[in-house]
Amino acid sequence: MRVEADVVRWGDEHLAYHVNHALYARFGLIMESFSEYEVDECRPDKLWRRCHNTEDHQHDCVALFESKIKDAIEKDQFQAAQLLPGEDPQQKIQDALDEGLEKGTHFRDKSLKIMCQAAKYARNTHFNTNYVALFDSNYLFLCVFSREDPSHLRATLVPCQGKNNVDARRALLGWLIEAWEENREGRNSHAPPHPGDKENKMKAAAKKAAKEQAAAEKAAEAASRGHGDGPASRTEGSGSKPTKPTKPTKTVKISEENNTRR
């Protein structure tokens, strides 16, 4: 698998296809799956949602699934961020800051980059779910972000090995059923927005407005050139032919002394 699209297709064929059949047997049409579902400039590779009123088309997103390029998930980097039994979460964060690790997290390098993307999905109020999965064909990382404290999460790293990836399919199915049940009980809602999200949205809105204004000015300029303002332009609606510009009159100077032309 050379590119991320290969991983997306592999995940659909070996994981999502079989899990969706099991979900249909368990929930019927009240559990739906979509691919490349874009909302608010976020587009996960797969989304599952619960339909609680099919007549009024009312539904809630329950989980998101994001595929990454092969080998993006490195086991050692994810295990380094693991909170062991008895460890204090705040002390774990402080230890990371003391060690100079970026953003007070033990995720680093490639794992930090993709976890930032997962956190962005979890904070998106339109998706409104704490359940985000990452997949690179080698590993399936099933995340549940905390509603009370978005600085840490509950997660499972599942190897995608063995015949038919039975363990990975079972883990994904159980994770999705839990997400559905948590949504039904009102507990699967977005983690508190990050303080920087509002500023980023304002910057994005300003950038979009400037782009729209530039496009409008460009269109107005093109329209002005198309209609034209010179004497050779056709009067709109008149049906008359365009008039040719008149040639400038040649000036002739006459000498007062001999009344001859120069």
Q: What's the farthest any 2 CA atoms get from each other in the chain?
A: 119
C-alpha distance across the termini of the chain, in Å = 87
Write down how long the chain is: 262
Question: What pLDDT does 233 receive?
Answer: 42
- 3.40.50.11740, 2.60.40.10, 3.90.1570.30, 3.40.30.10: which CATH number matches 4-196? 3.90.1570.30
Over residues 28-87, the pLDDT tens digits come to 777 888 888 887 777 889 999 887 665 555 678 899 999 999 888 988 888 877 777 787
Over residues 197-236, the pLDDT tens digits come to 455 556 667 888 888 999 999 888 888 887 655 444 444 4
Q: Above 90 in pLDDT, residue 172?
A: yes
In the chain, what are the domain boundaries?
4-196
Sign of CA dihedral 105, 108, 113, 115: negative
Question: What pLDDT does 232 receive?
Answer: 44
181 vs 28: CA distance, rounded Å: 14
